[in-house]
Structure 1
């Protein structure tokens, strides 16, 4: 389940690997010889060096693996080459060598691999190769790189809803820009942006101004803070950047001001969601809805009857059932980065047609979590098209369906998929077959579509997922244009680790799905002989 992307990275030439914090079969990964040596080096042929995560070695003490000397020796013998910050190697290896708890060969191996990496990077020739202030002044935040950042962020946005084609917006009339993220430089980047140049980020307000010029009027109101609790807000929002300032007015006062702006506006852009440090490391939550104080504002804006576009900032899947039922347009922008405002304006006004797809399933509520497309069946799966059946796997209060499935994302145009065509109905070991569809842009806008390929193994020696993503292609089509999109399917696409941990493809029947997301796809069948 988890190793395949890392194996692909090794095959592609990754020069270093970081050990994870978690344990595998009761042994922390940092001390797992099976993982770091048997799998990574012996099976995969990895030739680079392995580094711990931050203080990964001393953290094994809390796992109950021994004192610093013991866990440092454990890591060295497992195949760890570099100790990041923990200082276990620095402080204990000499003693462990004398006590024969580690060998000089293991120490030499680690030193050799680290030195080889420095040599390949050119650091013996020029130790300060990447520390050139003149180069940094020319390259950091230059116009070319900012343009690329703008394009990349716009490509990542996911259009979740667009009832009655509210989007793209017209560059005319009066636009009400409301929400705690409307003019907020500090929270455009997302977590772990501790070295970001916050004062240079383009806010949503600035991006709208840049796009509109004098073509339309913009009215603004903050409307709410991130959280109702001032202490919690300060603790979570200002982790790395203290520039965010809380509005000290009451929730009622702020909503009242926002409604005055809404009353004078033709359309409302509501910028809401999470702050940069609400997600990421050490930022787990048990409630994955938009924070209540922001949701109260959104409900008040919806009651005005004006068209509302929710520009959603988030670093995690959120439960947006109320928003889906009551807000006409929802654009998920994640955390767009330094060019946030410009890229958001590009999509809102149609300069860029959104084409992003969800890389995680969005549930109806937190009680459905964990929820993912590649799940396994139970012995009593709910029949397709059913909401509830007694003695089946379902809920009493909500359907099994996600709010937005994995791979979901709308466009300003529409796409039509033909039935799936297979070059053959039988795949012979060592050979391949081709699965193809004709994709047509049936709307009024040029656009990009991510065509997704899924496969289901119908019978296996161990239970198999109901569907697995095996490929995708991002395709550009002019309005009215059609293209044939093909995927090559080989025996390798059908392999999995069986109960003996052997990577095998088992003969039998398979289904192939091609479509716009993991739920909405056309199917065909083939067999592996």
Structure 2
């Protein structure tokens, strides 16, 4: 084994100058001194190597690559010219590449191993938009913690999550990966997920460094088309887009990822305003920024740079610290420094940030701390992780409609037809970002319902959603013509007391690069739904999808509708427990459901125009052929019980405003309710939305029980950012609304002085 001069230097440093930390600030100083000691040992090429990230490029259990690009990457790994690798997973594989970096390179600097742990590792929790529908911050935090624990057991120590992009356009497939349309809710969820992934001690082998992405405005891509241009005003940027990123930064997220899109004509990867001025300047972010896959190189396609050398020059000056799979830094930066185009101090700053995170992860102390085979065997797929996945899956389900109390289903004496290709699907519930999940490992809705053996259950596929196999890198081929299985489904429906139809999207119809111009049920599913309805109108529609859908016909005709998203490994158990009433649904929509694609972007916190309505004449802001109202508003969701709100009171105490409301369970069963508070600033120097979420509380009420819920509004909730990015609080009249969705009409007002 090659003598590791770096480890020796770290030990000497600890003996000579680094006393045991007595607090957080002293601990940070310790790390800063250690980082500087390492940096002083490094050549320029080794520094640039730390800024270089490679995708896994060979089968590490096979022979060493001997030629081509893989051989070159392998030599870079041996020479200490790789700072991070992604998509290397499993203890055996991670240990192999870490061993090369630590024991064969001159300085032995350990790698940070990244992976897309978006909503789970091998065990999948619900997709993030589904988890957001729970409005349960502790459950979301725990879900991220369980994902971190499982991924870390497989050798991973860095996740490219959470995605904190706000989006108002469900055509954009990546809405499945975020928290929806609202900045306040999105900021709270960003913090919960960061804290879940990173835990209380980042050096624990059960945590991951988190990554807030995509910085910034990726969710506002024009026409909902992925990777597309973004053009937004400063008010939207400061008040809607940036706050969740700032919340993640304040929660001590260790890394940021920049975005594919341009903003104000400048690609985010080369955007110094975003990365230098705001993130590292105004916000004083101390972690590092990684590019998105190939985004440095992609600045050439944007027409912003002429070649890869120019791209590397502008990206590093703009504040991109690590190059993911563009090969721009490793090939071009040394020459740029040597010819004076790039100051070496910029390289040093980037490398300090990267080394700091490695120290915080404890990789210098033990490069193999994430490589424990026994932990890998005991943690992955464990009972603890499966139970947590089931818990958050149940909490993520939203009851959209329940006429005539079709739900919950009776537990005995019913003949139930279960129809839809997705009902027996064990892959689609895993969602789009399921890179480490085993194929067909989810509990299907069919399997979940089969556990309730006192009813007669008849399954009929009816129609498949997709034709052929689906995967992450190819377009899904939708079934547009094959109705050959309709007859069996119709016959099953005729014989049954109630029909449960599971319809929606396969897992790979939403996610990255999965933009859509139609939000209708894909393929022939609508035709199947209407055919079954002709013979049995007692239908429960269960939606499996990664984005809001336009289901107008179903809303008009189907008595019960359940939004079940893609709920991960425990999908079938969660859906069955809700359908049978063993769990009372409590989810609320984190994103508006439109009636038509033509309404998009549609969101609850819009601004009034100079001609609001409705009015009798035509001269007001509206459509000729569709209402302005959504199909289902933000924050909406029903329960098997009902709730009433009354006695709203407001009192001002100095700079704080207290809002008190009584909430009563007026039904017959215990239930949870997300009590939501919205405000409207009536007159402001920058126009404000008609409603803004500024508080919520999840409460549990027994039948006929009343609870008093108190919210406190401070200057933080009452203020906003002006067009220079300054946060201001202005006196004046405010309206306040409290209820079970953004459509609440219970309101009062107060004057803020």
Gaps of 5+ in 1: 228-232
Q: Which residue of 2 aligns with 1:21?
A: 260
Shift of 1:12: 1.4
Tell me, yes or no, if structure 1 residue 73 matches structure 2 residue 73.
Answer: no
1:58 matches 2:297: yes
Structure 1 position 527 matched with structure 2 position 751 = yes
**Greater helix proportion:** 2
Task: Give CA deviations for 1:130-166 in whole Å, capped at 9, x if unaligned.
Answer: 2323212211111121111011011001111000111
Correspondence for 1:190: 431
How many positions carry a matched residue from both structures? 512
Please say if 1:355 is aligned against 2:592: no
Pairing partner for 2:447 from 206, 226, 231: 206
The aligned counterpart of 1:230 is none
| Residue 292 (structure 1) shift | 4.0
For 1:198, what is the secondary structure of its paired residue?
coil
Match of 1:443 in 2: 667
Deviations 1:382-431 (A, max 9, x none): 13xx6x6411111112211100000110100000111321123xx75xx2
Measure how far apart 1:209 and its partner are.
1.2
Residue 454 (structure 1) aligns with: 678
1:488 to 2:728 alignment: no
Shift of 1:239: 3.5
Secondary structure at the residue paired with 1:417? strand
Looking at structure 1, the residues matched to 329 and 693 of structure 2 have their Cα atoms a distance apart, in angstroms, of 41
Q: Confirm whether residue 514 of structure 1 aligns to residue 738 of structure 2.
A: yes
1-side partners of 2:516 and 2:600: how far apart?
Answer: 12
State how 1:213-252 maps to structure 2 within 5 Å: 213=453, 215-227=454-466, 233-234=467-468, 237-239=470-472, 251-252=482-483
TM-score (norm: length of structure 2): 0.66
CA distance in 1, matches of 2:376, 2:447: 26
Q: Structure 2: how far apart are the matches of 1:362 and 1:201?
A: 27
> Helix, strand or coil: the match of 1:91?
helix
Sort the Cα spacing of 1:240 and 1:260 in 2 relative to 1 into closer, same or farther, 3 A.
farther
**Residues 493 and 536 in structure 2, CA contact (< 8 A), matched pair in contact too:** no
- Distance 1:450-1:78 versus aligned 2 partners, 3 A rule: same
Q: Residue 2 of structure 1 is aligned with which of 241, 250, 263?
A: 241
Secondary structure of 2:421's counterpart equals coil
How far does the alpha carbon of each residue in 1:91-129 deviate from its partner, in whole angstroms, 9 at most, with x for none?
A: 100011112121110101111111111111011122222
In 2, Cα distance between equivalents of 1:189 and 1:523: 41
Q: 1:372 to 1:516 in 2, by over 3 A?
A: same
In 1, the alpha carbon distance for the partners of 2:479 and 2:631 equals 33
CA distance in 2, matches of 1:18, 1:200: 30
Alignment of 1:98-247 (within 5 A): 98-172=338-412, 173-210=414-451, 212-213=452-453, 215-227=454-466, 233-234=467-468, 237-239=470-472
- Residue 86 of structure 1 pairs with residue 314 of structure 2: no
Q: Residues 100, 402 of structure 1: CA spacing in aligned structure 2 closer, same or farther, 3 A cutoff?
A: same
- Give deviations 1:58-111, integer Å, cap 9, x for gaps: 111111121111111111111221111222111100011112121110101111
Query: 1:344 corresponds to which residue?
Result: 575
Aligned counterpart, 2:658: 434
For the Cα contact (< 8 Å) 1:435–1:488, is it kept in 2? yes
**What's the CA shift for 1:221?**
0.6
Contact kept? 1:312, 1:334, Cα under 8 Å? yes
Task: Indicate the SS of the match to 2:639.
Answer: coil
Q: 2:548 aligns with which of 310, 317, 326?
A: 317
How big is the shift at 1:501? 2.8
After superposition, the C-alpha distances for 1:146-191 in whole angstroms (9 at most, x for unaligned) are 1110110110011110001111001122111100111111111111
Which secondary structure state, in structure 2, belongs to the residue aligned with residue 453 of structure 1?
Answer: strand
CA–CA separation in structure 1 for the residues paired with 2:711 and 2:512: 37
Matched, 1:422 2:650: yes
Partner residue, 2:284: 45
Alpha-carbon offset, residue 240 of structure 1: 6.3
Residues 194, 240 of structure 1: 8 Å contact kept: no
2:427 aligns to what SS in structure 1?
helix
* Counterpart in the other structure of 2:138: none
Q: Distance in 2 between matches of 1:246 and 1:454?
A: 41
2:639 paired with 1:411: yes
- Work out the CA distance in 2 between the residues paired with 1:162 and 1:69: 60
TM-score of the pair, normalised by structure 1: 0.93
Output the CA distance in 2 between the equivalents of 1:345 and 1:241: 32
Using the TM superposition, give the Cα deviation of residue 247 of structure 1 relative to its aligned residue in structure 2, in angstroms: 9.2
How far apart, in 1, do the equivalents of 2:478 and 2:355 lie?
49
Question: Is the alpha carbon distance of 1:528 and 1:255 closer, same or farther for their aligned partners in structure 2, counting shifts above 3 Å?
Answer: same
CA contact (8 A) 1:57 1:72 kept: yes
